[in-house]
Structure 1
């Protein structure tokens, strides 16, 4: 069950990261994700804020995904992505070093007002840009499960923990399973 659960989460996540829907994850997908995030967070096209967010997404591509491509490849297919990501379940230090770093970048993007925490509205905007088609109910459900201390915001620790758990935890009770609302394996 736990292996199937993790595979379902990773596969669902890939489908959202594959911004152009071509079945491969590429640098261009990260550019599209960055543009969507900037727009949803209220940054104008061509603005310094948009450029920073796009650069952050491209840095994720270059630092996290590109090093795992076969020589000469410019994209990673879903099957390879799922297999490579599943390995993180067996190595929490690697999960934190890779997905944790990505999550800290996402936290700084989602924290639009620079308060250090991500509000419900900021989480909603980030989620809409990152997961198009994810409904308001799923976003609200996700936030409720991820806000561990119930204070109405996601601290960097809550935010990072949720993302790391989503991509690497086989624990069916992990709050991060709710990163995109109702877990994929319960649908």
Structure 2
């Protein structure tokens, strides 16, 4: 794993450690779901909320929980970084490892359900959920909007998530998807 990936994964870890205790637990993943659902104003018993919760539970079970090297039910930064280094070695595995959660997250961020994420939707979600400052959201959004259409389609969103988790280009705009990192 490269130094850039360590920075990105550390940034992601800080956002995923919702309660700030230095560990990611299944409860943190559930709290992420709850925050996404609340920011969207979706009823907790809606189909969208249930689907997101199911996908995030799958993310915990299939991606995060296996990183728990000491079996204590929680994943610290070292375990997560080493786990990502082991698991995210092959971008061709994106459809199995990350795409289901990304699709669900895309649908949640797409507040008006038109199949695109505009800058306001992007900023609302990343500011309220991941604590990404508005000016950072605007800059990241503009850079991720590869075709300059003013919206992110599903393909652009997947490209950003894939670049964040698998990429090693220090100039890639997706490096800052979960908050600005010093590259």
Smaller-chain TM-score bracket:
0.7 to 0.9
Q: Which residue of 2 aligns with 1:185?
A: 182
TM-score by length of 2: 0.87
Pair 1:144 & 2:142 matched: yes
In the alignment, what sits opposite 1:175?
173
Q: How many residues align?
A: 183
Q: SS of 2:42's equivalent?
A: coil
Structure 2 unaligned spans of 5+: none
Cα offset for 1:96?
4.5
The C-alpha deviation readout for 1:41-95, integer Å capped at 9, x for no partner, is 1224555544443333223212322234347432211111012213456422234
| CA deviation after TM superposition for structure 1 residue 130, in Å | 3.1
- Are 2:152 and 1:154 aligned? yes
**Which segments of 5 or more consecutive residues in structure 1 lack a partner in the other structure?**
none
What CA distance in whole angstroms lies between the structure 2 residues aligned with 1:90 and 1:70?
A: 18
Q: How does 1:48-87 map to 2 (within 5 A)?
A: 48-70=47-69, 72-87=71-86
Contact residue 86 and residue 168 of structure 1 kept, 8 A: no
Instruction: Name the Cα RMSD after superposition.
Output: 2.3
Q: Is the 8 A contact 1:9 1:166 kept in 2?
A: yes
Q: Aligned partners of 2:144 and 2:127: how far apart in 1?
A: 16
SS in 2 for 1:185: coil
Deviations 1:112-163 (CA, angstroms, capped at 9, x unpaired)? 222221121221122124312x211011111111111111111111111111
**Greater Cα offset, 137-146 or 72-81:** 72-81
